[in-house]
Structure 1
Amino acid sequence: MIALNLADGINIIRSHLKTAPNAPGVYRMLNQHGDVLYVGKAKNIQKRVTSYTQVNRLNNRLQRMVSATKSMVFITTRTEAEALLLEASLIKRFKPHYNVLLKDDKSFPYILLRTDHKWAQITKHRGARKHKGYYYGPFANAGAVNRTLNTLQKVFQLRSCTDNTLETRHRACLLYQIKRCSAPCVDKVDDTEYGDMVEETRLFLEGKTSDIQKKFAASMQTASDEMEYEAAAVYRDRLNALTQIQSHQTIVNAMVDEADVIAAAKVGGQVGIQVFFFRAGQNWGHRAYFPRHDKSEDTASVLSAFITQFYDNKPAPRSILLSHKLDDQTLLAAALTERMERKVDVTVPVRGKKADTVKEAIRNAKEAIERKLAESANQTKLLEGIAEAFALDAPPDRIEIYDNSHIQGTNAVGGMVVAGPDGFIKNSYRKFNIKSETLVPGDDFGMMREVLQRRFSRLLKEDSDRERGMWPDLLLIDGGKGQLSAVWETLDELGVGDVSVVAISKGPDRNAGREQFHIRGRSTFTMPHNDPILYYLQRLRDEAHRFAIGTHRARRKADVKKSPLDGVPGIGPKRKRALLHHFGSAKAVIGADVRDIESVDGISKAIAQQIYDHFHE
């Protein structure tokens, strides 16, 4: 059967060779559902695709891929470098099964020094660069940014508050009292002095710390000579704070001024990658990655695929230092240079301080993958224990945990979290805003029915043959027999009878450690209070509880922010702002007469009457 499928796949690929272009570009292999199996780039698409028809040159993995291929799509590009960048973008979009895939691709935090306001603001920033100013980063994590910002406030005392807060303050805030802000909001500092602090901050973040230190030391000495001891103490404290920052951000050799060091190590068939960030001669942290790949992939090919995906949505530094020589290293440098519109060097240092830095990154990569494998082994044991405890046929690959949250029926939401062999799968979490208008407020059973009905109706529609890995092996429900019955009623109505369901309730006195487990057709049971499986199940339940409560609070907070003016026809943000500035509150608008409303800038007589009628039908 496998040979027959392989023959079919080769024939399908041959049929597409007739339309395959003799040009650089990207090709996609699709299965019978239209899902992307593989994304590849080529200098010549037709020649590259032809290689898939030569059976003797295909390893087992490629044979499986060709066997599943039912269609192909081609996209041409101007250059091979463009094809490389497009390939990375499509891999991240479609997440093909047969590609190396960067799974954790969160954006990095930056420090933003805004210059689009009279009083420049310093703050943490993620996402699109919408504000005019200077962006410094990336930092490896939010903690590194927060520590740096905290100390920068001590040293340079720039404002961190929003523009709205700045413009509405009438007296200095607590940050001024504890010497973390110079309080430009209430004129505690003049334009010139504040401008100097902004320039000093910029110079420091660009690595010119010695100039700042010399300036502070000279100012401290001058103040001391003139017996202005309070001013001298201020400069002394600033110098101490600068030293504190430098102790957290180790100054490295000037040869590594702006660079990312990317090192890979392979342990037990799994490649781990460590990325170190150096900017302005400072180490701004490092982060570990564990890309998904087939065990037959060599370390260099995994590293190459990782780099193209890593920089798909991030600016590349001027220098990238690697642990392994790549086959497409020159092409990669050309592609990143084209994207950044400035030269980007991609090199493998062999001696000197750069090579020492790469060796340190390799050591960190190896330690990270060893920790990851140890955690995976422990996770495997836990899943095997769950299979034994709940009489499952095999350890579950996908566990879905459900919980609901509301306050007396208001802002009701359901939450679903997902766990598997690699821990929590956060990009698979889902929230369900309860929509039914027939539910009695606080009906937990009804809420659970709605959540499961929506979840499995969609599954039956999108993955009816269960080939896409979207179906759970186990449902864990936060609740007792009532919730269990509600879930099974829903699943039976949908014709889903082969999914294992377990409800977990707090047990007597709602004490952790005395949880009771409910399974259809089986008596309620408990586990020993010191059983690692019980601890793991508690973690799963608590994560679902945390997610559901967080979603509920976010929805409740959004409702609290709503104004009665939001529902008035013809009132947009601009008129709403004008009304609130004029009257001070929505309540005052509701109590005003037509003539008072009409006196507001931008409100015509007709609009004023419309507002009045809305609240006085």
Structure 2
Amino acid sequence: MTELERKVAGLPLSPGVYLMKDARGNVLYVGKAVSLKKRVQSYFSAAPKAVKVAALVRRVRDLEVIVAASELDALILENTLIKKYRPPYNVDLKDDKNYPYVRLQESRKYPRLEIVRRRRQDGALYFGPYPSVGALRETLALLQKHFRLRRCSDRQFANRTRPCLNYQMKLCQGPCCREVDPVEYRRRVDQVVMFLRGRGQQVVDSLTAEMTSLAADQRFEAAARRRDTIFALQKILATQEVDSAAGDDLDVVGLAGDENQGFALYLLTIRGGRVVGGRPFAFPRFAGYAGELITAFLQSYYDEASVPPPVVLIPQAAGSHDLLEQWLASLRKRKVSLLTPLRGRRAVLLNMANDNARAFFRQQQQDAADLQQVLAALGRKTGMKRVPAVIECVDISNLQGDFPVASLVCFVNGRPFKDGYRRYRLDDIAGPDDFAMMAAVMERRFGPGNEREKPDMLLVDGGKGQISAVSRVLDRLQVEIAVVAIAKGRDQRGKKSKTAVDRFFIRGRKNPLAVHPHSGAYLLLQQIRDEAHRFAVSYHRQRRRKDLTESALLDVPGVGPVRARRLLEHFGSLQGVRQAGLESLENCPFLDRGTASRVFHYFRS
């Protein structure tokens, strides 16, 4: 009996959470169970298993369990551990940061609307997430235009001495520099909040009553402004109409796929009887069944997104159905019902979500098949004996040798794999020596002590010189992988040109490969190179900005690296430190009065 088998045999019958790990101790899957022993034993039984589950079990080498006091405690603990470890076989909504929210700080006297990418526990109101940032910007621009809320940041608002261009264009009331009735401003904020919560028709009714009253008082200009706002809001509402029960607040989850092919979900968001959003989610590696996926998805989504609505429609019963309702109710502070309607208007909505999920799933399947064909063609073109399923790409970024950094991005089956991304500082390389920097990255990526699995192919941004630098290190480390260099195309004068065709070189071959510029392999390698370049440049700019900002403060007598960082954290930026008054600086707990005075006068000398 192996050590793993002994652990499984000795598990308790209590509720709890189990963590499945691979040979390196990486967490592959986190699950919960009413009975730990029965649940975990089911994975290792001889009964037939779904493809994804069988793939998971083959990789499991160790097991850790945490006994919980109740099944609800196990549900909450499972969600916490999934967020902590982000296992590959669980639901992972990490990329939700790509979907925007609208944030409004109600505690401000004159709050503003802003688009953010992450929802924080800071007491502000959040609306979303929204599927399209473009459509969201258009909607907010319209709301800003007609309700005239301020757009400037809090720092700009606090330091402005005269109204900005938005005030001159009558897009803002100018509360930064003139008296604006806070009660009237708050009334407008409340109308915007009501609209964003899906109560658009109530806002229209309220504005209509205001328009009628203003017209009766012969205040025709103000009444005309209300009329224009009503028309604009009605235009938005007309595009959101759906045949739903009047005034319903619903989230509708559609499902497609199965345990062997993976799953896709589609979330339809309905507020006030109107569609306000729809989003697809792909789960190609989820190692569980449909009911478990629904539970895991709702846990992950509502833990990060807005407060759940009173009703969530689901295509079938979720795992731990009653406990999940209880947990959702704890987030909403009121009852939440999980329903699977079979007839009526709600059944129509559920069918709509299922249709969208099926369409998205078919597209995902087709895209995956197309990418496999592209990868197979790439493998043949570069002389590989297998399909390059895992491709890593390295790019260098520096400014004449200053602030040198490198990026490494990873693509799995033709798609970005963010867990495989790495960034490197290359401070020990003197001068702008790309070859030495590339060699240093190879040492750190493939040298002794690095236990990460090797890719099938390594792509480097450059030409034959970069390939030679990389090959020397790989030969010395006895690493056998395919290496491809992608060099920018050149015009007839030999200068780099964006319109010229890129050239590709492979390890051990003098002449460039013949790759058609419109082929899938060409476009995929370009995409990977561009992603590595983006990642490297963003890190280089971040590092340069940080170093230059800190160095400006280090010129102040009595300010060292620690105080410089604390000043930047306290005031938010170098501009914030520059604009800080003497009293604000003296109130900093980490500055004495003398140093505060020197900082204040340094930026005014």
Q: TM-score normalised by the shorter chain: which range applies?
A: 0.7 to 0.9
Task: Give the residue type in structure 2 aligned to 1:379.
Answer: L
After superposition, the C-alpha distances for 1:493-524 in whole angstroms (9 at most, x for unaligned) are: 4x143011111112432344532222232121
Residue 556 (structure 1) aligns with? 544
Residue 451 (structure 2) aligns with? 463
After superposition, the C-alpha distances for 1:116-165 in whole angstroms (9 at most, x for unaligned) are: 22212222234353544433333334334323321211221111221111
Whether 2:1 is the aligned partner of 1:13: answer no
Equivalents in 2 of 1:225, 1:285: separation in Å? 39
Residue 370 (structure 2) aligns with? 378
Equivalents in 2 of 1:481, 1:256: separation in Å? 65
Equivalents in 1 of 2:383, 2:281: separation in Å? 35
Residue 450 (structure 1) aligns with? 440
Maintained 8 Å contact 1:104/1:289: no
Residue 541 (structure 1) aligns with? 529
After superposition, the C-alpha distances for 1:85-117 in whole angstroms (9 at most, x for unaligned) are: 3224334544546x4433654245332222222
After superposition, the C-alpha distances for 1:39-85 in whole angstroms (9 at most, x for unaligned) are: 33221223434545654577787677666554332211121122123
Task: Give the residue type in structure 2 aligned to 1:537.
Answer: L
Q: Structure 1 residues 320 and 113 mapped into 2: Cα distance closer, same or farther (>3 Å)?
A: same
Q: Secondary structure at the match of 1:484?
A: helix
Maintained 8 Å contact 1:217/1:235: yes
Residue 475 (structure 2) aligns with? 492
Residue 567 (structure 2) aligns with? 573
Q: Structure 1 residues 39 and 462 mapped into 2: Cα distance closer, same or farther (>3 Å)?
A: farther
Choose the corresponding residue for 2:404, options 409, 412, 427: 412
Residue 271 (structure 1) aligns with? 263
Q: Secondary structure at the match of 1:172?
A: coil
Structure 1 residue 356, shift from structure 2 partner:
0.8
Q: Secondary structure at the match of 1:524?
A: coil
Equivalents in 2 of 1:531, 1:292: separation in Å? 26
Q: Structure 1 residues 451 and 130 mapped into 2: Cα distance closer, same or farther (>3 Å)?
A: same
Equivalents in 1 of 2:252, 2:360: separation in Å? 16
Residue 506 (structure 2) aligns with? 519
Aligned pairs, how many?
A: 583
Residue 129 (structure 2) aligns with? 138
Maintained 8 Å contact 1:418/1:425: yes
Structure 1 residue 291, shift from structure 2 partner:
0.8
Maintained 8 Å contact 1:322/1:346: yes
Q: Structure 1 residues 132 and 448 mapped into 2: Cα distance closer, same or farther (>3 Å)?
A: same
Q: Secondary structure at the match of 2:328?
A: helix
Task: Give the residue type in structure 1 aligned to 2:393.
Answer: I
After superposition, the C-alpha distances for 1:267-314 in whole angstroms (9 at most, x for unaligned) are: 89332111112234442211111113369x654444344334434444
Equivalents in 2 of 1:397, 1:322: separation in Å? 35
Matches within 5 A, 1:221-370: 221-250=212-241, 253-254=244-245, 257-266=248-257, 269-293=261-285, 298-314=289-305, 315-338=307-330, 340-370=332-362
Q: Structure 1 residues 217 and 172 mapped into 2: Cα distance closer, same or farther (>3 Å)?
A: same
Q: Secondary structure at the match of 1:522?
A: coil
Equivalents in 2 of 1:29, 1:104: separation in Å? 20
Equivalents in 1 of 2:294, 2:309: separation in Å? 17
Choose the corresponding residue for 2:458, options 461, 465, 475: 475
Equivalents in 1 of 2:25, 2:576: separation in Å? 58
Maintained 8 Å contact 1:101/1:292: no
Q: Structure 1 residues 156 and 231 mapped into 2: Cα distance closer, same or farther (>3 Å)?
A: same
Structure 1 residue 246, shift from structure 2 partner:
1.5
Equivalents in 1 of 2:354, 2:451: separation in Å? 41
Maintained 8 Å contact 2:586/2:593: no
Equivalents in 1 of 2:19, 2:185: separation in Å? 56
Equivalents in 2 of 1:563, 1:124: separation in Å? 32
Maintained 8 Å contact 2:198/2:276: no
Q: Structure 1 residues 157 and 26 mapped into 2: Cα distance closer, same or farther (>3 Å)?
A: same
Maintained 8 Å contact 1:475/1:499: yes
Equivalents in 1 of 2:381, 2:568: separation in Å? 60
Structure 1 residue 245, shift from structure 2 partner:
2.7
Q: Secondary structure at the match of 1:476?
A: strand
Q: Secondary structure at the match of 2:252?
A: strand
Identity rate, percent: 32
Q: Structure 1 residues 453 and 366 mapped into 2: Cα distance closer, same or farther (>3 Å)?
A: same
Q: Structure 2 length as normaliser, TM-score? A: 0.85
After superposition, the C-alpha distances for 1:369-406 in whole angstroms (9 at most, x for unaligned) are: 11111211211111011101110111111111122222
Q: Structure 1 length as normaliser, TM-score? A: 0.83
Matches within 5 A, 1:75-90: 75-90=66-81
Structure 1 residue 207, shift from structure 2 partner:
3.6
Task: Give the residue type in structure 2 aligned to 1:400.
Answer: E
Q: Structure 1 residues 173 and 131 mapped into 2: Cα distance closer, same or farther (>3 Å)?
A: farther
Q: Secondary structure at the match of 1:403?
A: strand
Equivalents in 2 of 1:347, 1:258: separation in Å? 13
Structure 1 residue 185, shift from structure 2 partner:
0.9
Structure 1 residue 480, shift from structure 2 partner:
1.0
Q: Structure 1 residues 443 and 248 mapped into 2: Cα distance closer, same or farther (>3 Å)?
A: farther
Q: Structure 1 residues 324 and 51 mapped into 2: Cα distance closer, same or farther (>3 Å)?
A: closer
Task: Give the residue type in structure 2 aligned to 1:492.
Answer: D
Equivalents in 2 of 1:359, 1:521: separation in Å? 56
Task: Give the residue type in structure 1 aligned to 2:509.
Answer: R
Structure 1 residue 471, shift from structure 2 partner:
2.0
Residue 502 (structure 1) aligns with? 484
Residue 425 (structure 1) aligns with? 417
Matches within 5 A, 1:79-158: 79-96=70-87, 99-102=89-92, 105-107=95-97, 108-158=99-149
Structure 1 unaligned spans of 5+: 1-7, 465-469, 590-596
Maintained 8 Å contact 2:396/2:405: yes
Structure 1 residue 201, shift from structure 2 partner:
2.2
Structure 1 residue 463, shift from structure 2 partner:
2.3
Equivalents in 1 of 2:520, 2:576: separation in Å? 62
Maintained 8 Å contact 1:28/1:36: yes
CA RMSD between the two structures = 3.6
Q: Secondary structure at the match of 1:461?
A: coil
